[in-house]
Structure 1
């Protein structure tokens, strides 16, 4: 009994009833337009007292409501907002965007017609039924009501009819609540199908999420490679300076100068990385480091950390496309950062950058002294994954694994494919060995 009363008169039922009455209010202008059409067509001046003509005007106005739902894209988000608030539908089920495309407009028109149609009928019932039901409920108590011009049937004013009139009035109110609850449940059931996102909307949302995820992944890679490398270098330099603080002041001064240079440069790189979060590059944003402009400084800072590095550059970095040059720099930087963390300080790290046809080959060989992968610190281990992502996005590939008593990272990147359309890639003759 209690559940039935909640179903008919509970908070959700009342809110859905309000939603239907709003639909009836929205239907009134279309009913008036229908009266303008029906009146002259049937040569009738007075439609308000004629129920069949009122219903005919309502029927003529509903197609106009459907046309409104189809022609105005903003109908869908407005109706979706009302349905979410009053029908108790989850926020992720209905589409908040205007209707685009024939299918979305058609479904919006169907919903708008259904909402206004059911709302108009239920609004009329809500205006007419309660007063009549109240009259029936008090009819046995007021004899004067039986002889008035209310037009009550004879069966209701005499005998058993008069006795059962209050029950009939109460039943009419319950029936009205049942109709409202049923229509509200029907609208709530059809709202996801008619106001929900179309396949095109879902595809657009998925593309937007993928683009956002790509930006976030790119930002994570840039922060890991630039800031992570700088922090590793600064940590090693500070540790070495602390150990020889009393015995070798000259080395300490050099280490502090290297730390200052590394942090100053990292601030500029961080500014470039944070540019990813902006809508576009703004004037004054530091350019991202490239192989052509920043490789020598990277090698110098790495050697200042106490790591021996042999670098062979058999390609002109200035001839590489900007995108390839930037990604290649980050790959080399991450390879050297791993060498700083896991390498053998007594043995040299080999860096080779060569061109093989239309491919740029990058090889970093780190003598870790074992044939297993470097140990992964807690929360880390994303560097090789970031390298693989960079290579894959450019159409290349990355391989990393043990090679004898060393750990070898090999990456190849396409040059011509990464260049702007119409511009052929250029590779320079073999250069010098650093």
Structure 2
């Protein structure tokens, strides 16, 4: 099928034709109102007996349609029809009701254009096909010739009869071209008249940015809490299995640590999932902080057989809650990396100086690198995100046979 045929008779063209027919149907009540107004003015009881009077009623009805389209709910209704039938990109159209005067005026302009073009195409769709069918059949049926059907007498004579099928087909093509052209015009003007304003686009961008920020924060929380728990539980279970027969006391401690780790992680997971469920109340498990759980974090890590030395040069309870929470996650991720890469002993240093909280996590480089997941992990990038949101700095890398994570967080978060 050629491009011209697709434009005239393709699926999109047919849907736009239906859209125009719906516009013509919507125009009929306004035409009836126009006829009620026009009839008494010209002193006629039968406005529809004359084509000029019908067109006059149509012309009176369109301004009335424009006035009714000024109501705010009109825009989402007509935008839905445009998305479904005109082939216009849905993102190019506004979703909410028209609020400002300019938005209402543009909606009214599009609605009037739709009803005007729809009324014209609907009238042509009713009148042209029967007349074209008569012209096509005229050479085959002599009874159709003459003036009984309102046809010119010349159509029943000579070469005119042979040319009437061509004229009938041309009329059908002209109708299809008119419908396709009007549908394309409506589709072209829809984004300009029904599309979101600059304020709408800004609000949508802000909403997407806020949603992305929430999703990233929840992803970091899941990665840090669940990732650390799985790494710790795996090593704790492995150590307990190796020492099951030789050190029952260590096995009991490891099992207790596994129970504590999983219980806490389930609580944190419930909190995050509660935030993801629309309408659900979030879980009640508090976000872990240095003041609340640093000792427990170190104890659970040591229960996995990891030697950890911690030096805390500041009172965790005196830290701002946001800094304490993010610092906890950073220390947790540093310990998780040490668990994964089997480098020990691990040294953790936390100190406050010059208005900053300094966190350092060091461990020797492992002799055998841990297997990497496809695409790598997200721990260090999560730390970088946390630090950047607080306006701090972070460095991580190998130096002198050690893997060192060093973070500076400002203590003033406002």
Which interval holds the TM-score relative to the shorter structure?
Answer: 0.7 to 0.9
Q: Which residue of 2 aligns with 1:390?
A: 386
**Residue 351 (structure 2) pairs with residue 354 (structure 1):** yes
Q: For the structure 1 residues 2 and 242, does the alpha-carbon distance in structure 2 shift closer, same or farther, using more than 3 Å as the test?
A: closer
Greater alpha carbon shift after TM alignment, 169-178 vs 90-99: 90-99
Q: TM-score scaled to structure 2, two decimals?
A: 0.86
Give the deviation of 1:145 after TM superposition.
Answer: 6.1
Measured against aligned partners, the alpha-carbon deviations of 1:20-77 in whole angstroms (never above 9, x if no partner) come to 11110111122223333333444444321222232222223223333333x2333333
- Is this contact kept in 2: 1:215–1:276, CA < 8 A? no
Q: Which residue of 1 aligns with 2:277?
A: 278
Q: Separation in 2 of the partners of 1:43 and 1:96? A: 45
**Residue 393 (structure 2) pairs with residue 365 (structure 1):** no
Greater alpha carbon shift after TM alignment, 93-102 vs 230-239: 93-102
Q: Separation in 1 of the partners of 2:158 and 2:81? A: 48
Aligned residues: 412
- Is this contact kept in 2: 1:87–1:188, CA < 8 A? yes
Give the deviation of 1:353 after TM superposition.
Answer: 2.2
Give the deviation of 1:151 after TM superposition.
Answer: 4.2
Aligned counterparts, 1:49-88, within 5 A = 49-69=49-69, 71-88=70-87
Which of 403, 408, 411 aligns to 2:404? It is 408
Which of 373, 377, 385 aligns to 2:372? It is 377
Measured against aligned partners, the alpha-carbon deviations of 1:363-412 in whole angstroms (never above 9, x if no partner) come to 22333379xxx767224431111111111112222222334332222222
- Is this contact kept in 1: 2:19–2:86, CA < 8 A? yes
Q: For the structure 1 residues 251 and 83, does the alpha-carbon distance in structure 2 shift closer, same or farther, using more than 3 Å as the test?
A: same
Give the deviation of 1:179 after TM superposition.
Answer: 1.8
Aligned counterparts, 1:98-109, within 5 A = 98-109=97-108
Aligned counterparts, 1:9-88, within 5 A = 9-69=9-69, 71-88=70-87
- Is this contact kept in 2: 1:369–1:406, CA < 8 A? no
Gaps of 5+ in 1: 419-434
Q: Separation in 2 of the partners of 1:261 and 1:139? A: 93
- Is this contact kept in 1: 2:33–2:61, CA < 8 A? yes
- Is this contact kept in 1: 2:272–2:282, CA < 8 A? no
The SS at the match of 1:210 is helix
- Is this contact kept in 2: 1:16–1:184, CA < 8 A? yes
Q: Which residue of 1 aligns with 2:155?
A: 156
- Is this contact kept in 2: 1:275–1:285, CA < 8 A? no
TM-align CA RMSD: 3.1
The SS at the match of 1:146 is coil
Q: Separation in 2 of the partners of 1:277 and 1:165? A: 69
Q: Which runs of 4+ in 1 moved over 6 A?
A: none
- Is this contact kept in 1: 2:146–2:152, CA < 8 A? no
- Is this contact kept in 2: 1:273–1:288, CA < 8 A? no
Greater alpha carbon shift after TM alignment, 18-27 vs 92-101: 92-101
Aligned counterparts, 1:320-335, within 5 A = 320-335=319-334
**Residue 132 (structure 2) pairs with residue 133 (structure 1):** yes
Q: TM-score scaled to structure 1, two decimals?
A: 0.83
Q: Separation in 1 of the partners of 2:309 and 2:280? A: 35
Q: For the structure 1 residues 169 and 270, does the alpha-carbon distance in structure 2 shift closer, same or farther, using more than 3 Å as the test?
A: closer
Q: For the structure 1 residues 159 and 368, does the alpha-carbon distance in structure 2 shift closer, same or farther, using more than 3 Å as the test?
A: closer
Greater alpha carbon shift after TM alignment, 184-193 vs 138-147: 138-147
- Is this contact kept in 2: 1:350–1:366, CA < 8 A? yes
Give the deviation of 1:144 after TM superposition.
Answer: 7.3
Q: Separation in 2 of the partners of 1:293 and 1:280? A: 29
